[in-house]
Amino acid sequence: MELDRIDRAILSTLQQDCSCTNLQLAEQVGLSPPACLKRVKRLTDEGYIDKKVALLVPEKFGPCLHMVVEVIMERDNKAMYQRFLNRAVAAPEVKQCYRVTGEVDFVLIVMVPDMDAYEAFCDRVLHADDNMKKFRTLISMKRDKFETAIEVKS
């Protein structure tokens, strides 16, 4: 399906604030509320909208360390990669997981309250994998930008 100008406006608006009412959204994009609701349903049904969530401020819930973890595997083996991937994505500390090219095999974005929690994560997820060669941890001193919206191109 090709997205028209109104579809792109709906998606862009919802990325900024999905808590707006259908009436507010319809007014912003220049549609009647029933037509707007129909388009949002179609965009959801066709997979353009995955889910609607609230983005929380982690620091409001106590101390929080953000870490970027680069993981290098020992052997290039699809089944072993999948086993590590399953363990990583199941870990609640892992907020993002990327399979990448280059010198490292995976990049994980990890959030923990303190270094003790990170050490427990390392033992349970990283050191527990016999195919993991090594990993490098970069501790974020400050998150200067965090954006979830994608550009909705024409």
Whichever domain contains 109, its CATH number is: 3.30.70.920
pLDDT, one tens digit per residue, over 85-95 is 999 999 999 99
The span from the CA of 111 to the CA of 135, in Å, is 16
Please say whether the dihedral angle defined by the alpha carbons of residues 124, 125, 127 and 128, taken in this order, is positive or negative.
positive
Judgement on whether residues 23 and 81 belong to the same structural domain of the protein = no
pLDDT at 154 over 70: no
Q: Supply the pTM of this predicted model.
A: 0.83
Domain that residue 22 falls in: 5-45
Look up residue 113 and give its DSSP letter. S
How many Å is the maximal CA-CA distance in the chain? Answer: 58
pLDDT in tens, 67-86: 999 999 998 888 889 999 99
**Which residue stretches of the chain are H helix?**
5-16, 22-29, 33-45, 78-90, 115-121
Mean pLDDT of the chain: 93
For the four alpha carbons of 41, 29, 22 and 8, in that order, the dihedral sign comes to positive
Query: Do 131 and 64 sit in the same domain of this protein?
Result: yes
Spatial distance between the Cα atoms of 129 and 90, rounded to a whole number of angstroms: 14
Q: What is the mean pLDDT of residues 106-123?
A: 97
| Residue 133 lies inside a defined structural domain of this protein | yes
> Domain holding 31: CATH number?
1.10.10.10
Q: Tell me the angle at which helices 5-16 and 22-29 cross, rounded to the nearest 10 degrees.
A: 130
CA 93 from centroid of its chain's CA atoms:
12
